Amino acid sequence: MLYSLSMRSYLPQQDHELVQIVDSVFADAAHRSGKWLVCRPGCSQCCVGVFAINMLDAVRLREGLKKLEKLAPERATRVRERARDAVSRLSKDFPGDPATGLLHQDDEAARHFVSFADHEPCPALDPDTGLCDLYEARPMTCRVFGPPLRSEEGLGVCELCFHGATNEEIAACEISADPDDLESTLLQEIEKATGVHGQTIVAFCLVS
């Protein structure tokens, strides 16, 4: 799966800078959110249900898995096994090309993806501990989840958080994860270097 990407793995040097920026912004939002943000280690509700990731996320995850193989090979093996099991379950109805793991970009595929695999746990999630085995390499979606985040649908928050907060209090904790849009620049760089464009899901990018 994602064969061309795995053969030419390339992570831009500035990705470390992007991660630092996003993590710093999240830390500030978490401080402003205080007791309303209930995200804690072991809370894994946001780790269930697939979501699209870009090629920068995919390569970062693969690099994270390589590091895990050196530090904790048994854990890395379990991640790969969970990824292979997930791909096996999801391939039949995958709204994309299961041979490459890339999602189709048409409107019909987008509509199908909305309800696709809503109950599928992320293969990076350790089911015994409720922790992410690839936490340091997690996608940007995971890094900003929790505090209020603006999208086309408005200002969204985790359904477990901000109970009792007013709309004004929620808005005051809004996160602006990548104000200079460094991610788009790095994504263009990685797509040019690898020749792979589009989006995938975590399971497909972690299979051998």
The answer, yes or no, to whether residue 53 has pLDDT greater than 50, is: yes
pLDDT of residue 2: 58
Count Cβ atoms below 10 Å from residue 177 Cβ, excluding itself: 19
pLDDT of residue 1: 57
Report CA Rg, the chain.
17
pLDDT of residue 33: 93
Count Cβ atoms below 10 Å from residue 19 Cβ, excluding itself: 16
pLDDT of residue 7: 45
Residue that has been written with the tokens 């790969």 in this structure: 80
DSSP string computed for 116-158: TTTTPBPTTB-TTT--BTTGGG--HHHHH-SS-EEETTEEE--
Parse the chain into domains and list their residue ranges. 3-206
Instruction: Tell me which DSSP letter residue 103 carries.
Output: E
Residue that has been written with the tokens 């898995």 in this structure: 65
> Phi then psi for 175, rounded to 5 degrees?
-105, 135
CB 33 within 8 A of CB 173: yes
This model's pTM is above 0.95:
no
pLDDT tens for residues 66-121?
999 999 999 999 999 999 999 999 999 999 999 999 999 999 999 999 989 999 99
Mean pLDDT of 157-174: 91
Mean pLDDT of 11-16: 91
How would residue 9 be classed by pLDDT, with cut points 50, 70 and 90?
A: low
Which residue type, as a one-letter code, is found at position 22?
A: V
Mean pLDDT of 24-30: 93
